[in-house]
Amino acid sequence: MNRPHGAPGGRAARRALVPVLLCVLGACAPAAGDAGDEGGSTRPFQAVLEEQAAAVRDGDRAAYLATLDPHADRYRAAQRRVYANLRRLPLGEWGYQVAHVSRDGDEAAVEARLRYRLAGYDRVATTDTERLRFVRRDGDWRLAREASGSATQLWEQGTVTVVRGERSLVLGVGRKRSALRALADAADRAVPAVARTWPHGWTRRTVLQAPSSSEAMGRLLRSPASSYEGIAAVTTGETPDGAGEEEAPADRIVVNPQAFAELSEQGRQVVLTHETTHVATRRQTTAATPMWLSEGIADWSGYRTAKLTPRRAAPELARAVDDWDAGRGGAAPLRSLPTDGDFRFDNDPTRLARAYEGGWLACRMIAEEWGADALVALYERAGREDGGESAGVDAALRSVLGVSRERFTDRWRAYVTAQLGPERSPG
C-alpha cells in the first residue's frame, strides 16, 4: 500500500512490495523450471545474473564485465562505475530472481527482482524490480541495457561516497564529504533521541541516501521532482503485512539537498529525528495507522527537545486559528483531525502544512494529558486493530485513552485553539 510519510519540511513514501524468494550473493538457487512468458526460458538469464552476483561478492571486475554486451559501450562504461560503487557498500546480500522473460529472436526483455541487504544496518533485505534488455552474442546471452520502467538506484547516479557514523551509514552522490559527515553526525544524534521512546524492534541504525539534486531524488523515488519541492527528507521502506513482525523491513532516509540546505541546524536535527522515528516505528505501522498519528508522533519526537513555541512550530494552523478568532473564517482545519488525504504529496502546501501541524498537536496533547507511554501504547494498538482505519482508531482511543473519537476530537480542537490562539496583552 502506497502512503506518504515524512517530516516537517519532509515527507516519506512507503512501498508495499510482494515478498519473493530471491537469491543472495553467489548463493542463488536455479530458477524453478523453464517458465517464462511467450515461451521464454528464465534459466539462461538467471545464470547470467548469478554470475554477476558472484562477481560482486568475489570482487572480480573482469567477471562482472563479462556478463555485459561487448558492443554496448555506454552501458559498459556506466556498469564499471556501478561495480565500483557496489564494492564500496557493506553488502550482506545481493542477487536477482528472474520473474518474466519475453524473447524476440536474439533479444529479450527480462523483469527481475533485485534483493540486497546492507550488513550491519538491515535486518531484512530490500527488494525492487529491474527491467533489463539482453542480447545474444555468439550463442551467449549478455546484458545490453536497462529498459524503461526499471528502478533507479543511487549507485547508478554517479560515484558514491560512503561515510560511516557511529549509528548511521550515509551514501552520497555529487556531495562533499564534509556535508555527508555532517549528515552522519546529525543522524547519530537522532538515533538515541528516538530510542528513548522506542527502545526495541529496530536496529538503532539508519541508512541515509543523499542524491545530488531534487531531480535525482525524484528519480530514486519514481516521482516528479516537483513533488519534493521544499521537502527536506523522506523515508522509504516496505510496509509490513501486520504489526508484531519479528523483523522490521529496511528503510532509507532520502535527503533533498536543496531543501535540507535551507534549514537551520535545529531544523535539520528536527527533520532527521522525525525521519528516524519512522524507521523505529516501522514494525508497528500498518495500513490501519492513521496518518495524523504516524506523522504526528514523528513530529512530536522531532520537536521534543526543540526550543520552539507552538505558534512558531505550527504557523499555518495558527493563522487558521487567528482567522477563526477574528471572525474571518478559518474554521475548516479545526472541524476534524487531519485525514490521510490531507497528507498527499500533491496537496496545496498550506493544507499539507496544517495536516502535519494538526497531527503533531494531537500527539503533543496525548503526551501532555495522558503521558508519553500512553502515546506509544496508542500507536501500537492502532496498528494492530482490524476492521479498517476508522474502526481501529476508535477502538484504540477507547482502549488506551478511555475516550471516543468524537470526544478526542473535541479535546484536540480545544487544545489547538488554546495553544495557538492569538497572544493578548495583559489587562
CATH 3.40.50.300 fits 37-156, yes or no: no
Query: Alpha carbon 22 to chain centroid distance?
Result: 22
Distance between CA atoms of 313 and 190, rounded to whole angstroms? 19
Domain edges within the chain: 37-156, 288-427
Phi, psi at 315, each rounded to 5°: -70, -35
Which amino acid belongs to residue 393?
V
Residue 385, pLDDT score? 54
| Type of residue found at 357 | E
23 vs 196: which has the higher pLDDT: 196
Confidence of residue 250 (pLDDT cuts 50, 70, 90): confident
State pTM to two decimals: 0.85
Pick the closest to residue 352 from 263, 266, 229, 270 (CA basis).
229
pLDDT at 16: 27
User: Which pLDDT does position 390 carry in this prediction?
Assistant: 52
4: β partners: 13
**Max Cα separation, the chain?**
92
Compute the distance between CA of residue 278 and CA of residue 194 in angstroms, rounded to an integer.
Answer: 10
**pLDDT confidence of 215, banded at 50, 70, 90?**
very high
Instruction: Write the pLDDT tens digit of every residue in 60-98.
Output: 999 999 999 999 999 999 999 999 999 999 999 999 999
Where is pLDDT greater, at 394 or 427?
A: 394
pLDDT digits (tens, 9 = 90+) for 396-425: 999 999 999 999 999 999 999 999 986 544
